[in-house]
Amino acid sequence: YNGADHYFNTNAGLQWTNLAGSFRWNHQINSKLFVNSTLAASGYDYSLFVNVADQTRWNSRISNFTLKSDFGYYRKPGDEITFGWSLSGFNMNPGNLLSARPITPPVISIRNSTEWAGYINRDHTVNRNLKLQYGIRATDWVSTGPSFEFRFNNQHQVVDTARYGQGVIYNQYGRL
């Protein structure tokens, strides 16, 4: 999918684009096991023009890339085990001012993150009146440089800047 639109008046306006796509591969490994694998990517870019003549605009974007596989194992009728994994990468620009004329606006750091996840789940029919579903999922989110973060005092003024080099992990969140 690719889509774009814009709205401009005399010297201001909005402009945005979307791009998304995926490839999916389904395969039956044997009579009880199958796999669905997906490769997907997307991107969204948004600009708010405050001066069209000199291309002064606030710009924000987010893009991601995902690779995942989901497996289904049918032990017997009424007893299915599903499991899988995924790996995703994200690039986010929360918003920065851009211009063709020389300006020195404050800059917000672009963020790069990676998320991986794995899971296993079981759907089990015990009898006609009782069905159990249970499972577990593990996930880990990692933010890596290059990036920077501002440190603020109690009056919300910037007092320091933490800088992270290429590939340096500065945030990590794992959950089960």
pLDDT tens-digit profile of 137-152? 999 999 999 999 889 9
125 near 131, Cβ under 8 Å?
yes
Torsion of CA 100, 104, 106, 110, to 10 degrees: 50
Placement of tokens 């009146």 in the chain: 129
Per residue in 58-107, pLDDT (tens digit) is 899 999 999 999 999 999 888 999 999 999 999 999 888 888 888 776 78
Question: Looking at residue 107, what is its pLDDT?
Answer: 82
User: What value does the mean pLDDT take over residues 116-133?
Assistant: 95
Query: How would you classify the pairing of strands 158-164 and 169-175?
Result: unpaired
